[in-house]
Structure 1
Amino acid sequence: MTIVHKAAQVGFSTEASTYTQGRPDYPSEIRIWFRDALDISPGSTVIDLGAGTGKLTRLLDSMEIDVIAVEPVKAMRIEFAKHLPDAKILEGTAESIPLEAGAAQALICAQAFHWFANETALSEIHRVLKPDGRLGLIWNVRDESVDWVAAITKIITPYEGDTPRFHTGDWRLPFKRGYFSEPELTCFNYIHSGSAKSVILDRFLSVSFIAALPSEEKEVVADQLMTLIQTHPALRGRETIEFPYQTHAYLCRRLD
């Protein structure tokens, strides 16, 4: 049986509703990238792997395609069902996807692939895709050239530990094994607008390794974030904060 990393299992179980409130969505123009890069057309079957609370599924649902969500954490599936009661979501992991071989034209992992970046997972993703299938990897990456964004990173990084993270680049290692082509990057600018509570507090208290902290330590992080919100001139007194991201979209072509 595949073991879900403790930070994901505990953190996402504890803060599933906060995840829904605080996590950014995706730029609308990425639908064109899905269509062109991943060769998704009306009627295609697409797997949303590591679907979480359904942030990406909502976007895919607008494309007249058959979306199958797969998510290992029960609390996330429950939250998903609250917001997308008519969508199909299955319990499963990247190493054991509960679908037949060749089931989908494309498989997309949004904010998730770093959790299961291993050869077994890529082999399983390869299995469930059609011969000409495509794998899409999506991450919303904070723009740390903005000083207050960099300050947030400085607050949370001491708690990271051994948690798998996009920024380490370790997720690229399994692509040397030949199941897929090397990831091809396209970038989109994206702004997550909302209150300080939603785009900063809820967003960063839902980070896996922060959400998994004991309540006392989590409160320390929350206090540091609140201090930043209340004192930084770009944040202080603002009803709406515009949090800058770049959405990184990687195309990986299935190899025979």
Structure 2
Amino acid sequence: MIKDDDAMATRREAVKNVVKGIGYFSLGGLAWGGMIKESKSVDYVLRPPGAILEKDFVKACIKCGLCVNACPYDTLDLATLESSTVTGTPYFKAREVPCYMCTDVPCVPPCPTGALDISLLRENDSQEMDINKAQMGLAVINKETCVAFWGIQCDACYRACPLMEDAISIKTERNERTGKHAYLIPEVSADACTGCGLCEHACITELPAIKVFPRTMVMGKEGSHYIKGWDADDEKRLNDLKKVDKYSQDNSDAIDYLNNNDDLFTDD
């Protein structure tokens, strides 16, 4: 009888351990899944040259790694479960290894799906790729931590830029604090910056005062309802809209109070 009781107790203990193990496993799975979900929600990742829009890129990329293998500088890496993007997709961290702007852009042609689009790096009908047309990101300067804004002479980002004077230029400003020296202020041109990250890699501060972000994060969008009257393309767009708008009114006699104040100050 005692042996039967001991056996029953042993079985009960075994069942408890199994149930407890399943519970721990489930909780661990939920925690791991939550961590992955949280990491994937971070919308900050730099893609190779020629990458199409992010929402389309993650659908088109088949995680083959051909672009990663083609990069001669080991700039590109494939995302892991801990990465802040879709697992298996190519990306790079500019602070660690930037894009060195290869003129032949070897990482783009191997892409079999068009996730990296050669046409985005071509000028009109040219068959030659131009790495200077890449839009991997846009460098942004933190004026609070950039020592150049303190009056300390530093042009590390400017010197590292492969498009010096076009993508990054230096502007001089009078130092009112000392009255003797000039500030040498770095400025980034959104039109020319390729997002290669060489500036971020070269930055002398402990955490980079200049950092490359995806262009969609920092560029903004003005909205199609804004019309730049001085822009010929926008004027054409406005005229085209008037042609298709059945309910548009003739506003040719309306006063432009923003740009034409003559009628506001005439004597009756």
Fold shared by both chains (TM-score > 0.5): no
TM-score by length of 1: 0.29
* Higher relative helix content: 1
Quick check: which has more Rg, 1 or 2? 2
Greater relative CO (CA pairs within 8 A, separation 6+): 1
